[in-house]
């Protein structure tokens, strides 16, 4: 009943919590499965590697050679430290994932997409300063509580097989360590998942290097599904797969969402993302500039932000354009930022 009420409040396409909905968006349990608000992550950094440590070392070398530089190593070190400053890599990110939904996070590489994934998984760099609020299944989370959810209710599908242990058979890796009854249960769950995703029983006895790209991708999916998570974060799950395999990979994520889960699909392949996602969060320069229904990508007029429109124009089916319409301003601006 509460769900219905909530739905009455937020109609399709209506803006709330910084985003618009796809027309079939649901609010299970009267809240978002995942909600990120005003997430800012900054790092202490040197101004530039060239001007920072390198300058210090080159100054030292010059000093040793008896060059006339008065500063000397100690002064150079001070100069080096003084250029250290805070750099915000994520700036006030807002994002929501609803139950039953695939939200694609798209944008240039280096825009901070993976950092967002890390934050949702409670993986914070010790040198990072993190601000903002994050709710999972209606409960506000801390770094500590996110750590407990990680791998259980929030699972990651990493980008490559490099995440698997090359010296361990994949069946054992998917099952994980367990004893007694639990071991049996986990073995049964692993077999069930392998069967569901079309992996033969023999695959469990193979090492990661013996898997094809498509098989490896399904093994990583099975790893993520072992603990029956509610939210899956998929980080570039289609890189290196041909179109058929990539489509299969996305279909599996779609099925997971349709079964009542939520998926945050991080990708720079917007063509593929648009086929499977309900909504798209456009990442640009460290923040989500627009969070909108996939339907808005039908025409550039439906997109609000100039960068979203630049993405639209740059799609091959829309002419691979970087100079068309509103895209021009953004592309010249991007030239200076060089996001990747």
By CB under 8 A, name the binding residues for another protein: 48-50, 106-110, 212-214, 239-246, 268-271, 310-311, 313-317, 319-322, 327, 330-331, 334-335, 338-340
Closer residue to another protein in complex, CB, 78/299? 299
In the complex, the smallest distance separating the C-beta of residue 78 from another protein, rounded to whole angstroms, is 24
In the complex, the smallest distance separating the C-beta of residue 46 from another protein, rounded to whole angstroms, is 13
Question: How far, in Å, CA of 135 to CA of 53, rounded?
Answer: 39
In the complex, the smallest distance separating the C-beta of residue 283 from another protein, rounded to whole angstroms, is 10
Closer residue to another protein in complex, CB, 49/71? 49
In the complex, the smallest distance separating the C-beta of residue 312 from another protein, rounded to whole angstroms, is 9
For residue 68 the two structure tokens come to: 């006339």
Question: How far, in Å, CA of 97 to CA of 230, rounded?
Answer: 11
Closer residue to another protein in complex, CB, 185/209? 209
For residue 270 the two structure tokens come to: 């917007």
Q: What angle do CA 271, 277, 282 make, to 5 degrees?
A: 70
Compute how many other C-beta atoms are within 10 angstroms of the C-beta atom of residue 226.
17
Closer residue to another protein in complex, CB, 139/298? 298
In the complex, the smallest distance separating the C-beta of residue 44 from another protein, rounded to whole angstroms, is 19
For residue 315 the two structure tokens come to: 């799609």
Closer residue to another protein in complex, CB, 67/340? 340
Q: Rg (Cα) of the chain, in Å, rounded? A: 23
For residue 257 the two structure tokens come to: 């969402």
Query: In the 8-state DSSP scheme, what is residue 302?
Result: G
Closer residue to another protein in complex, CB, 80/308? 308
In the complex, the smallest distance separating the C-beta of residue 47 from another protein, rounded to whole angstroms, is 12
Q: Tokens 């945050």 map to which residue?
A: 264
Sheet hosting strand 102-107, strand order edge to edge: 154-157, 231-235, 262-267, 102-107, 279-284, 287-293
Closer residue to another protein in complex, CB, 236/291? 236
Assess contact for 239 and 208: CB atoms under 8 A: no
In the complex, the smallest distance separating the C-beta of residue 326 from another protein, rounded to whole angstroms, is 13
24-54: b (≥16 Cβ within 10 Å) or e: ebbbbeebbbbbbbebbbbeeebeeeeebee
Q: Please report how many Cα atoms fall inside a 13 Å half-sphere around the Cα of residue 327, on the Cβ side.
A: 18
Which residues, at least 6 apart from 64, have a Cβ–Cβ distance to it below 8 Å?
none
Closer residue to another protein in complex, CB, 59/225? 59
């Amino acid at each position: 009943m509460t769900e219905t009420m909530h739905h009455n409040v937020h109609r399709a396409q209506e803006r709330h919590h910084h985003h618009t909905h796809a027309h079939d968006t649901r609010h299970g349990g009267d809240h978002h499965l995942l909600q990120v608000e005003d997430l800012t992550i900054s790092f202490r950094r040197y101004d530039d590697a060239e001007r920072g440590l390198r300058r210090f070392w080159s100054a030292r070398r010059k000093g040793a050679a008896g060059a006339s530089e008065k500063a000397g190593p100690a002064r150079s070190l001070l100069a080096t430290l003084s250029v250290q400053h805070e750099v915000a890599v994520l700036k006030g990110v807002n994002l929501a994932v609803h139950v039953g939904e695939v939200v694609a996070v798209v944008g240039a590489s280096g825009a901070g997409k993976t950092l967002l994934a890390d934050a949702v998984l409670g993986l914070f760099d010790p040198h990072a300063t993190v601000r903002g609020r994050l709710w999972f299944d209606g409960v506000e989370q801390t770094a500590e509580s996110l750590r407990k959810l990680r791998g259980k209710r929030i699972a990651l599908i990493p980008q490559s097989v490099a995440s698997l242990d090359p010296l361990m058979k994949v069946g054992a890796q998917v099952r994980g360590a367990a004893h007694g009854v639990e071991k049996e249960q986990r073995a049964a769950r692993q077999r069930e998942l392998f069967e569901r995703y079309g992996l033969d029983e023999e695959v469990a006895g193979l090492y990661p290097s013996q898997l094809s790209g498509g098989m490896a991708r399904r093994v990583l999916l099975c790893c993520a599904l072992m603990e029956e998570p509610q939210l899956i974060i998929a980080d570039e799950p289609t890189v290196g797969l041909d179109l058929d395999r990539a489509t299969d990979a996305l279909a599996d994520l779609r099925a997971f969402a349709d079964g009542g889960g939520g998926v945050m699909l991080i990708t720079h392949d917007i063509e593929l993302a648009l086929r499977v996602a309900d909504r798209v969060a456009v990442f640009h320069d460290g923040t989500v500039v627009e969070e909108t229904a996939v339907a808005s990508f039908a025409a550039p007029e439906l997109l609000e932000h100039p960068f979203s429109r630049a993405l639209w124009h740059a799609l091959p089916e829309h002419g691979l354009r970087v100079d068309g319409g509103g895209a021009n301003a953004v592309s010249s601006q991007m030239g200076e930022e060089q996001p990747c």
